[in-house]
Structure 1
Amino acid sequence: MPILAPTVTHLKQLYASLFSRRTQKLVILYTTDVHGHLYPYDYVRGTESRVGLARAATIIEQYRKKYPHLILLDNGDFLQGSPMTYYYNFINTNDVHPVARAMNALHYQAVSVGNHDIEQGPDVYLRVRKQTRFPWLSANGERKPRGTFFQPYTIREVEGIRVAILGMTTPAIPLWLEPDLYPGITWKDMLTATRHWFTYLKEKKHADVVIGLFHAGVHPNAGTPGWPEGLPEENPCLQIAEAIPQLDVILGGHEHRIFNTHEEGDADRPVDRPLVMMAGSHGRYVGVVTLHLKKEQNTWVVTDKWGHLERVAGQPAHPKIVNILRPYHREVLHYVSSIIGHLEAPLSSRLSRLMDTPFLDFIHQMQFHFTGADLSLAASFDAHFELKPGPIRIKDVYGVYKYENYLYVVEMTGAQFKEHLEWSSQYFHTVDPERFIPDDFINHDFMGFNFDTGEGVDYEIDVTRPVGHRIQNLRLQKSGEPLQPDTVYRVAVNSYRAQQLRQRFHCPVVWKSNKEVRDLMVEYIQQLGTVRPTCNFNWKIVPEWVVEQFIKRRMLAKP
């Protein structure tokens, strides 16, 4: 029998088996909380955007040329947050979604599911998931009788290294979203789920590296005032890192902040602890993680790890992604440019978290118009919105109200209404009148969009008092009588806040709109024809000099 000469392929395989590399470098890139900022254009302001996925793509492709085997991930909340995603979520539902087109083109390898992705409803997220060429991960989103609704993990083999990517979603979703947005899904505690799946991936799937792709943050909320008893922790990334130190990397998000436990230049970065990172939001950063591995007794061991954040601002938009998205952009631009009314005087949100303003009162007036409620609760979602007198276009409504909420009416007692205003006042730190430091006035651990203001009542927020004792002189506007603790009032709120109030106070919902708040706002403006902003100054912060000094300090700080 003749002996066949070895082929080139056989020789390469033999060489690889005898002289395989004993060390490897693994690079992971990720984005998080992009919130639909795909095309480099700000639809609300009508200007070019300096951030977003099209510009992040330039960084991604630069790294891919250098590291062709890199892993590219996204950490959720990509389906919501811009006129483009809204338009293709709910208006044009026939074309392939721009999120799918752009992320497929960039060859993402996995994404975790964020709470705002779920907020779009199953018709949207299941449709878009079918159009993408990568798995959607959420290991703690369980369904009955067993299993998970989304894929719990995926494994990528890179240069012989088995890399497991474990996805998780913040389990605080029931605090904000109605169950019909996630039918059949129960959101389990992330730490418990991570323990289970980490063991499974190591023992059953023989993963060399385990990456946690967790749509959650690093600043815990459980146990803080107003947090519902029994609800799992919203942001447990550091708790998981502490409890499961064998995890290699935790890629976080959700909080729209930046964070990194293993800076590249830090000589003391711990190799035996998980690298925990958060890469901001809206495509402002690309997170970069580098792992060095060494093969020991046929097992790959991480010998060093570090991370850094690549700033997107200043990068050119990648022409491939721009060309893919340009037809979508043109259609959305035509939609948001439609004129729906006229504004007689300026409308600004800049001071709306410090005092009552026409901006806030416009939202309250709209909520009263459609509900006939006794009281109203509303917050400023963007503290930098400005609208000059002139035509009002659909894009301007996105500036006033950027979330896909519905309008609800809940029943609350006077005591519950007051307690909620107290909870909202956490937005301010307690002021010592003897040594007020303006830069320390705002509590940045309490998200500004949670600072609700009340309408239908007059009241003061005394920031020299601790939370729980700040709301003073709370009276009904119409009668001037004190708000009665046991009297039940009908309160207009958005669906996000209604769900929180149901969790905290078990407030019954007695009315729901069949349109989103933004659509109601468009209808309201069209009915008015001309919007004449007014303000009744029904609430204020006391002592008033605190706000005066804070504003003065902020103005002096401007360049």
Structure 2
Amino acid sequence: MKLTILSTSDTHGFVLPTNYVKRDQNLPFSLAKAKTVLDAQKAMAEGPVLTIENGDWLQGSPLAYYAAKMSRKPEQLTQIYNAVGYDAGIIGNHEFNYGSDYLRQALATLNYPTLNANITKAGQPAFGAPYKIFERSGIKIAVLGLTTAYIPHWEAPKHIADLQFEDVIATANDYVPRLRKEADVVIVAYHGGFERNLKTGEPTERLTGENVGYALTQIPGIDALITGHQHRQLAAIVNGVPVTQPGYRGEAVGKITLTLAQTTTGYQVTDQQAVLVKAGTVNPSAVIEQVAEPLNQVVETWLDQPLARVEGDMRIHDPFAARVKEVPYIEFIQRVQMASTGADISGTALFNNEGRGFGSTITMRDVVTNYIYPNTLAVLRLTGAELKAALEQCATYFSLNAQGQLMVTPRFERPKPQHYNYDMYQGIDYTLDISKPVKQRVTKLTYHGKPVVSTQTYDVVMNQYRAAGGGNFAMFGPEKVIRENQKDMTELIADYLKAHPVLKAEADHNFTVIPSM
């Protein structure tokens, strides 16, 4: 007999094949396209099938944002996920972005159980059961839900108050032996990724505990491992365990096939396969389209609201160039952060390479497709030494190629793009010389025309992800926060635009990266 395990992960509320940059798109991803693949795979399966949603679905798209922030009705989104036909769901780190109360409201409206074993409250699982045992065709199949324990390093403290994030490996070591006694097959669905090369086992990142997928494959008794979080497309046998990671926004579906043989005590796995089934070229599911379209039409109309107009050019023509030499869009974001908090030093990032800045008329569509995360702002009181250390960390984003030309350091592009971990600052003047050794690249750093003093303190505004130390900024942390603005940054931008309906595209070019392009 064959057991098929299908999964999606990191769909981020992109239920239709659009990124909302413009109307009437048919891009190679979406929950609707993934459902078409899921339905086809279920129809051709040679035995029982389990379908798992592996986390990061509640936040990400403008549609998900609208449900959370504008209508405040999670059921507008969950009814779409309910139409997919999942057997179980897992909690992702982005599920906490709108707070645990909103998350609980959303989970209560799902028609499939949410599983999590390592997020606890007062010693008990905080969200649903830790696992579920399904019985299909006489086979007992255990699914254990796990979530990256690194969430406190990113999330606003009020969103995760009273929650404990237990070690993933310790939790798995606790549950897997017990599940082996109760079930024929043990599946771990983990919202996290891989910390090591799948073939060599060599580390591919700092071993912080954010991703422990490789370590999970070394735990005896796991028959299949579903992963996510890194937005990678992976399907492999690792340490004898079939693993999948199906990318981002429903661009692929993970498929693990286990061949089972009956024994005197139950069933055992005799063969295994792991593949990805791409969803990009299939037609979207009519079922998802029908459920999603009423909300989608409301969202499209909301996105087309004009907020302000621009005098000059606030577009981003080249994302790499925009990180080397300040552009008006970045300076605008800095000004919003400063105006919203009263700080006169600000740091922000150009999050990805898809944002295109603002054209002559700025709409809500422009705001949410450029500033893609539901960040709030925090002001940190930092010493000059800490500020310089942060700039040195930012400088690691750049390297020099064999010809001595500026390039992006490969680890910021692979295995997962991390352009959001390079910040640019306003309110200080600084120079990064990439020809210098790492940690010696800040060759100029002044504040109001005077050198920054290592022992003096400076108030700096940034988003709450960075303020918590996210992105390996160990010099930051909650203990440095002196005040916060709890309004979503997207709302702050919209409010600023309404108050300043005519913007001048300006940049003072307060930072320099050497060598120049």
- TM-score normalized by structure 2? 0.91
The 1:439–1:181 alpha-carbon spacing in structure 2 relative to 1, beyond 3 Å, is: closer
Q: Which residue of 2 aligns with 1:150?
A: 128
Deviations 1:479-511 (A, max 9, x none): 2x2111111101011111112279744443222
Q: Which has the larger radius of gyration?
A: 1
CA RMSD for the aligned pairs? 2.5
How far off is 1:128 after superposition?
A: 1.1
Counterparts of 2:228 and 2:236, CA distance in 1: 14
Matched, 1:182 2:126: no
Q: Which residue of 1 aligns with 2:339?
A: 369
- Contact 2:357–2:370 (8 Å) recurs in 1: no
Matched, 1:336 2:297: no
- Contact 2:10–2:228 (8 Å) recurs in 1: yes
The 1:387–1:464 alpha-carbon spacing in structure 2 relative to 1, beyond 3 Å, is: closer
- Contact 2:378–2:464 (8 Å) recurs in 1: yes
Q: Which residue of 2 aligns with 1:164?
A: 142
Equivalent residues, number: 502
Q: Which residue of 2 aligns with 1:379?
A: 349
Counterparts of 1:260 and 1:424, CA distance in 2: 33
Question: Bigger CA drift: 343-352 or 369-378?
Answer: 343-352
Task: Supply the AA of the counterpart residue of 1:117.
Answer: E
Task: Supply the AA of the counterpart residue of 1:30.
Answer: S
Q: Which residue of 1 aligns with 2:175?
A: 197
Counterparts of 1:95 and 1:188, CA distance in 2: 27
Q: Name the SS for the 2:322 alignment partner.
A: coil
- Contact 1:382–1:399 (8 Å) recurs in 2: no
Deviations 1:180-213 (A, max 9, x none): 212321001111111001012113xx21111111
- Contact 2:30–2:249 (8 Å) recurs in 1: yes
How far off is 1:335 after superposition?
A: 1.5
Deviations 1:85-125 (A, max 9, x none): 11111221347322x21222221011110110012212211
Q: Name the SS for the 1:97 alignment partner.
A: helix
- Contact 1:188–1:232 (8 Å) recurs in 2: no
Deviations 1:239-290 (A, max 9, x none): 1212x1431111111111112223xxxxxxx7x7211221111111111111
Counterparts of 1:387 and 1:451, CA distance in 2: 17
Counterparts of 1:179 and 1:437, CA distance in 2: 38
The 1:209–1:426 alpha-carbon spacing in structure 2 relative to 1, beyond 3 Å, is: farther
Q: Percent identity?
A: 28
Q: Name the SS for the 1:283 alignment partner.
A: coil
1:96 paired residue among 44, 60, 75: 75
Superposition misfits of 4+ residues, deviation over 3 angstroms: 145-150, 432-443, 501-507
- Contact 2:117–2:144 (8 Å) recurs in 1: yes
Task: Supply the AA of the counterpart residue of 2:382.
Answer: M
Q: Which residue of 1 aligns with 2:248?
A: 281
Task: Supply the AA of the counterpart residue of 2:326.
Answer: D
1:85 paired residue among 64, 69, 73: 64
How far off is 1:417 after superposition?
A: 0.9
1:510 paired residue among 455, 467, 482: 482
Task: Supply the AA of the counterpart residue of 1:497.
Answer: R
Q: Which residue of 2 aligns with 1:557?
A: none
Q: Name the SS for the 2:324 alignment partner.
A: coil
Deviations 1:336-355 (A, max 9, x none): 11111112333334232333
- TM-score normalized by structure 1? 0.85
Trace 1:368-407 onto structure 2 (pairs within 5 A). 368-387=338-357, 389-407=359-377
Matched, 1:449 2:417: no
The 1:189–1:465 alpha-carbon spacing in structure 2 relative to 1, beyond 3 Å, is: farther
Q: Which residue of 2 aligns with 1:325?
A: 292
2:465 paired residue among 493, 496, 505: 496
How far off is 1:146 after superposition?
A: 3.9
How far off is 1:406 after superposition?
A: 0.9
Stretches of structure 2 that go unaligned for 5 or more consecutive residues are 198-202
Trace 1:51-90 onto structure 2 (pairs within 5 A). 51-67=29-45, 69-90=48-69
Q: Which residue of 2 aligns with 1:39?
A: 16
Q: Name the SS for the 1:80 alignment partner.
A: coil
Q: Name the SS for the 2:66 alignment partner.
A: helix
Task: Supply the AA of the counterpart residue of 1:260.
Answer: A
How far off is 1:456 after superposition?
A: 1.2
Counterparts of 1:132 and 1:342, CA distance in 2: 41
